[in-house]
């Protein structure tokens, strides 16, 4: 299962009332935000 599918699955669980699912979301989001930030910083260093 890829990251997008994981996030979608967690959001559906939250929507269904599973409050424990909320604990799974931040680590996935953090990893993705770090990846995006790293790519953006690399582009700034080049340009």
In whole angstroms, what is the distance from residue 9 CA to residue 1 CA?
A: 10
pLDDT band of 10, cuts 50, 70, 90: very high
Whose CA is closest to 8, among 25, 20, 30? 25
Whose CA is closest to 10, among 34, 28, 37? 28
pLDDT above 90 (res 8):
yes
Under DSSP, the state recorded for 9 is H
Q: Inter-axis angle of helices 25-46 and 3-15, to 10 degrees?
A: 140
pLDDT above 70 (res 47):
no
Q: What is the pLDDT of residues 18-38, one digit of tens each?
A: 999 999 999 888 988 999 999
pLDDT above 90 (res 14):
yes
Structure tokens at 25: 């979301």
Which pLDDT score is estimated for 31? 84
């Amino acid at each position: 299962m890829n990251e997008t599918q994981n996030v979608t699955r967690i959001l559906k669980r939250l929507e269904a009332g599973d409050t424990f699912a909320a604990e799974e979301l931040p680590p996935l989001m953090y990893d993705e935000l770090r990846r995006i930030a790293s790519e953006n910083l690399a582009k700034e260093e080049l340009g």
